[in-house]
Structure 1
Amino acid sequence: MTNYPVEMYNYHAWASQTILGRLKELPPAVLHQEVNSSFRAIADALSHIYMVDKTWYLVLSGTDMGEALQECMPLAGRVLETAEDYVNLFAELSEQFREWFRNAPDLERTIILNNPYAGIRETRLSEIVLQVVNHGTYHRGNISTMMRQLGYASTMNDYALYWYQEPAASIS
């Protein structure tokens, strides 16, 4: 039986690596070139995605959301030099997620999420995983738009394309 939150996370990891692969094909300066968009530059968008992914990973791992945000917020301003640096950073975090999935409790388990910006609510672990995926999809769209503004084509990274790819590391 397919574990859909895990499958969606696998898609998220694949899609992030796919767009990073495209960025590696472009001139290195593209990563830091300023654009008039939701982020100053593509590197800023990548750092934001990573920061949010890392925050949610810590929450899934049992860290209070306020503490996770405090630990991860500085990551949003940490801009890396090359697309390869981002490839490695995202791959490392993806492996941490995969290890968590291998050892995870029931993904339908409910936790109390104390979001300092939105309040307290009960949330299933699976909902958090889907939030990670949805957030990444949204901002990969921003990156695609930014690439086009800079005069470069993006790359398809839709979930439907993922269906036809070899999964990065299938988790049973």
Structure 2
Amino acid sequence: MNHPEQMYNYNAWANQTILNRIKELPSSVLSQEVNSSFPTIAHALSHIYAVDKMWYLVLTGTGMPEALQACMPLNGEIHGSIDEYMQMFADLSAQYSEWLQGHTNLEQTVLLDNPFAGVRETSLSEMVFHLVNHGTYHRGNVSTMLRQLGHASVMNDYSLFWYQEPTQV
């Protein structure tokens, strides 16, 4: 397994870990408003998913402007149950795993046309690392939101992932 694939597996595990924690809590936790980066945990999860989906489209050959346009509606699509989010993330994780297993050269570079930052040449692995970093950042938001709502979060650090039994995520 290569390093980008390992990092993606961590990202999928960390998403699953925090979703499992949210599933343990009252279902209302998804829609309770907080004064944070997102108005609700559901909004944060929808954003994480939309961006993960957008990067998947880019990695599989869609131009970034088109991928952004395709995924923008997902950013505002709020789901009513944690089970829906769990299924969405699991399905996308399976797509990523299949894509990663089929790519032996993640150092391949592509021209990325980012409407917010401009055009640059970047490797597939850099995009995977960005996706993981983005997810880590927003899982931190979700952890803070959980605490604001009076609930403990759950540890989902990369160093904990090292000690987990290998599982399909």
- 1:134 has 2:133 as partner: yes
* Alpha-carbon distance in structure 1 between the residues aligned to 2:135 and 2:165: 20
Of 13-22 and 98-107, more deviation after overlay is shown by 98-107
**1:20 maps to amino acid:** L
2:75 paired residue number: 76
1:30 paired residue number: 29
Counterpart contact for 1:66–1:116, Cα < 8 Å: yes
**2:122 maps to amino acid:** T
- 1:150 has 2:149 as partner: yes
The TM-score, its normalising length taken from structure 2, stands at 0.98
The RMSD of aligned alpha carbons is 1.0
Give the C-alpha shift of residue 105 in structure 1.
4.8
Counterpart contact for 1:10–1:167, Cα < 8 Å: no
After TM superposition, list the pairs within 5 Å mapping 1:1-172 onto structure 2: 2-169=1-168
How many residue pairs end up in the alignment?
169
Counterpart contact for 1:56–1:128, Cα < 8 Å: yes
Unpaired runs of at least 5, structure 2: none
**1:94 maps to amino acid:** S
Unpaired runs of at least 5, structure 1: none
* Alpha-carbon distance in structure 2 between the residues aligned to 1:58 and 1:152: 35
* Alpha-carbon distance in structure 2 between the residues aligned to 1:65 and 1:19: 28
User: For each residue in 1:112-160, what CA deviation from the matched residue of structure 2 results, as whole angstroms up to 9, or x when unmatched?
Assistant: 0000111000000000000010000000000000000000000000011
Q: Displaced runs of 4+ in structure 1, greater than 2 A?
A: 167-170
